[in-house]
Amino acid sequence: MVNELTTNILGVVAVGMGATAVMDIWAVVQKSLLGVASLDYRMVGRWIGHLSQGRFRHDGIGKAAPVRNEATTGWTAHYAIGIVYAGLLLAIWPGWLRDPTLLPAFIVGIGSIVVPFFIMQPGFGAGIAASRTPRPWLSRFRSLVAHCSFAVGLIGSGVLISRLFEFLRI
């Protein structure tokens, strides 16, 4: 029999990865239907690589020197962050995985936009909430849509994992 801690850890990992995958699928759909490019996760890896060298902010992350394994680092960080947000969801609402509901998923999913607005975008050289981009409100809207898709992924993954755990009696 699986204990509660193990169940929660498995649930957090599965929900976080599932929600992040939904976000990525939405990005692919957006690109193919609307021609909207999504975040290049190599740039996330590049930024993380430069963080380890003591550099937080760049004039433009695309102009910064590439770092070794930046694509792998960026994609790994992307999924790890999704798992952390799923963990936050379960930390705030401990019973959520047994009975997933919309409001907590949307609070965490949409609330996750705070990190790119106030940490990543300034670090990438785009300014707070994309204020230094050519069309800040469009960038903000696209970020909001991306994080809404993450929220949808949280609830969808939560329901699937909840039903799976129920079926497996864990």
For residue 133, what are the domain limits?
4-39+76-168
Between CA 68 and CA 160 the distance in angstroms is 37
Model confidence over 50-62: pLDDT tens digits? 998 899 999 999 9
Question: What separation in angstroms does the CA of 76 have from each of 26, 117, 128, 166?
Answer: 18, 20, 24, 29
Model confidence over 135-163: pLDDT tens digits? 999 999 999 999 999 999 999 999 999 99
- Whether pTM exceeds 0.85: yes
Instruction: Answer whether 109's CB lies under 8 Å from 85's CB.
Output: yes
Percent of residues, the chain, with pLDDT higher than 70: 99
Give the total number of structural domains in the chain.
1
